């Protein structure tokens, strides 16, 4: 087993990883940028190293500085978390070359799944269902012919793409060449690669992804699905498992397809195979594979009873994953809500500021993963994710009720959050019926706050703010050490 792990990330996921390390008896090294010098993730680790200024490029995205930090602190492995360098094949390769262990898949697996066109070709070869379409076309005429064969509407996508960049829906032939031109331009700007693919457009699709997990000894299983259809602009908001749409038969089929997809690239460690699911036809197609731990991994942990981060570390150290597919089951229903510091009434603009009051919900079956505490600053440098609220109940209706109750207890002042917005989604009839497709938030849900906050609640909030401001001023704004501080001041940690 490893002696010490460097966590090349920040915020809630850095804390999630360091807790897993601590439980396994492994020492932790945190890294932090200027903006994060007082952050919880740095204070909770055994050691913390300053790696650069606040911009991600100068800190959490700087591969060489991170590897230097790991070598200097005598860590033997690096956990990349999600985002930042977690899906960089070149970073994984550099970690290997430095004789450190990258806790994740091999650089080759990351590379094989990194390109949409390449991975789609590999999946077709492996017998995994892909959306009907073509790769490698060049002339407008080739695209025109392909579109006629597929049948409109079609979708033009950047081969090198991800996250919806360089994607254009084309409803008929008259729109085609304009769409190709603008998609090419966007693909070139975003990825430095103008190759496009074309496929059938599925308008009412659901996003259903399968967690997969493999060890270094060729054993690879799936850990069931996550339904992630509540999203806007490719940003997920609510995820749940099991999906309300899948029968056990479909679940088994898609799970098998996910395992096939991962095995085709000799996958090891945690990964996610994304499918697009058409509820009218009950058909599913491979979209892409995310070669990292995902934000929404906790819901899978709750229904399977597995600690995915601990298993990531254990299999990276060479341990066998001990469960066969038959031994794995889903128990109950889990939902995650992503609490963002953003303003739903103002086009979901990020909201920054000091967390004057921050109180997390508690209770049976309630989990909060967050990198923030009261008094912390939410800055514009990083993702505005304040916390992940995860609930686990016996079945879907109970889990929804538990989430609604927990969101009511979640109190945040100082920044605007999407909590009320998520309450409105959870209370919607379409959500209750599992009818939310990936376009639902944008199309059917023009949300503005239903009621103005009451006078009493405004007074209560102001009083709470005043108390916190006074309390925090003696902790956060003072140079005197707080005698009651639960945070130790580890060696190597510089303020």
Which positions lie near ligand MV4, rule CB under 6 A? Answer: 131, 155, 164, 199-202, 205, 207, 231, 234, 276, 287-288, 438
Rounded CA separation 465/137 (Å): 59
Instruction: Compare residues 124 and 234 and give the one whose CB is closer to ligand MV4.
Output: 234
Rounded CA separation 347/345 (Å): 6
DSSP string, 294-352: -TTHHHHHHHH---HHHHHHHHHTTPPP---GGG----SEEEEEEEESEEGGGTTEE--
Contact 410, 332 (CB under 8 A): no
DSSP string, 236-295: EEEEEES-TT--HHHHHHHHHHHHHHHHHTT--EEEEEEEEEETTTTEEEEEEEE-S--T
Rounded CA separation 159/146 (Å): 16
Map residue 153 onto helix, strand or coil: coil
Instruction: Compare residues 21 and 230 and give the one whose CB is closer to ligand MV4.
Output: 230
Instruction: Compare residues 75 and 276 and give the one whose CB is closer to ligand MV4.
Output: 276
* Strand partners of residue 198: 134, 156
Tokens of 378: 């939410």
In the bound complex, what is the minimum distance in angstroms from residue 351's beta carbon to ligand MV4? 24
Instruction: Compare residues 288 and 376 and give the one whose CB is closer to ligand MV4.
Output: 288
* Strand partners of residue 321: none
Instruction: Compare residues 209 and 376 and give the one whose CB is closer to ligand MV4.
Output: 209
Instruction: Compare residues 22 and 200 and give the one whose CB is closer to ligand MV4.
Output: 200
- The answer to whether 292 is a known catalytic residue is yes
In the bound complex, what is the minimum distance in angstroms from residue 206's beta carbon to ligand MV4? 8
In the bound complex, what is the minimum distance in angstroms from residue 296's beta carbon to ligand MV4? 13
Rounded CA separation 223/308 (Å): 10
Cα atoms in the 13 Å half-sphere on the side-chain side of 232? 19
In the bound complex, what is the minimum distance in angstroms from residue 387's beta carbon to ligand MV4? 22
In the bound complex, what is the minimum distance in angstroms from residue 276's beta carbon to ligand MV4? 5
Please give the radius of gyration of the chain, using alpha carbons only, rounded to the nearest integer: 23
Tokens of 38: 């007082």
End-to-end CA distance of the chain: 31
Q: Which of 16, 226, 292, 367 is catalytic?
A: 292
Instruction: Compare residues 129 and 365 and give the one whose CB is closer to ligand MV4.
Output: 129
In the bound complex, what is the minimum distance in angstroms from residue 273's beta carbon to ligand MV4? 12
What's the length of the chain? 495
Cα–Cα distances in angstroms (integers) from residue 425 to residues 195, 224, 238, 278, 432, in the given order: 38, 24, 9, 21, 9
For the annotated catalytic residues, the residue numbers are 292
């Amino acid at each position: 087993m490893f002696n010490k792990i460097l966590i090349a990330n920040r915020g809630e996921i850095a804390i999630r990883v360091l807790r897993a390390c601590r439980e396994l008896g492994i020492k932790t090294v945190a890294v932090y940028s200027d903006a994060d010098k007082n952050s919880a993730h740095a204070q909770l680790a055994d050691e913390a190293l300053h790696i650069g200024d606040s911009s991600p490029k100068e800190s959490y995205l700087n591969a060489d500085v991170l590897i230097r930090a790991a070598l200097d602190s005598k860590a033997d492995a690096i956990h990349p978390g999600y985002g930042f360098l977690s899906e960089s094949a070149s970073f994984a390769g550099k970690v290997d070359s430095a004789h450190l262990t990258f806790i994740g898949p091999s650089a080759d697996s990351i590379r094989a799944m990194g390109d949409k066109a390449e991975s789609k070709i590999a999946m077709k070869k492996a017998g995994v269902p892909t959306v009907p379409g073509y790769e490698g076309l060049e002339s407008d005429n080739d695209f025109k012919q392909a579109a006629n064969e597929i049948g409109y509407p079609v979708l033009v996508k950047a081969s090198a793409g991800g996250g919806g960049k360089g994607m254009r829906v084309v409803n008929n032939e008259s729109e085609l060449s304009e769409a190709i031109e603008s998609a090419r331009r966007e693909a070139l700007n975003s990825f430095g690669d103008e190759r496009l693919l074309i496929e059938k457009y599925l308008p009412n699709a659901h996003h259903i992804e399968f967690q997969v997990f493999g060890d270094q000894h060729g054993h690879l299983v799936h850990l069931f699905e996550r339904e992630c259809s509540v999203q806007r602009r490719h940003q997920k908001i609510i995820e749940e498992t099991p999906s309300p749409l899948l029968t056990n038969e479909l679940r088994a089929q898609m799970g098998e397809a996910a395992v096939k997809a991962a095995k085709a690239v000799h996958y090891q460690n945690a990964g996610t195979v994304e499918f697009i699911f058409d509820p009218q036809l009950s058909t599913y197609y491979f979209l892409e594979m995310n070669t990292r731990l995902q934000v929404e991994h906790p819901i899978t942990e709750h229904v399977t009873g597995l600690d995915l981060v601990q298993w990531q570390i254990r299999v990276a150290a060479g341990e066998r994953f001990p469960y066969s597919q038959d031994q794995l089951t889903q128990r109950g229903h889990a939902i995650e809500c992503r609490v963002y510091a953003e303003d739903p009434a103002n086009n979901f603009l990020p909201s920054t500021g000091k967390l004057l009051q921050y109180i997390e919900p508690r209770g049976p079956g309630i989990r909060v993963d967050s990198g923030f505490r009261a008094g912390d600053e939410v800055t514009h440098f990083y993702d505005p994710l304040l916390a992940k609220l995860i609930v686990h109940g016996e079945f879907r209706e109970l889990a929804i009720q538990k989430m609604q109750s927990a969101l009511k207890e979640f109190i945040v002042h100082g920044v605007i959050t999407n909590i009320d917005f998520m309450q409105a989604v959870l209370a919607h009839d379409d959500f209750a019926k599992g009818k939310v497709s990936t376009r639902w938030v944008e199309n059917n849900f023009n949300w503005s706050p239903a009621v103005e906050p009451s006078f009493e609640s405004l007074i209560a909030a102001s009083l709470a703010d005043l108390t916190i401001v006074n309390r925090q001023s003696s902790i956060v704004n003072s140079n005197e050490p707080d005698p009651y501080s639960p945070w130790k001041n580890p060696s190597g940690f510089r303020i």
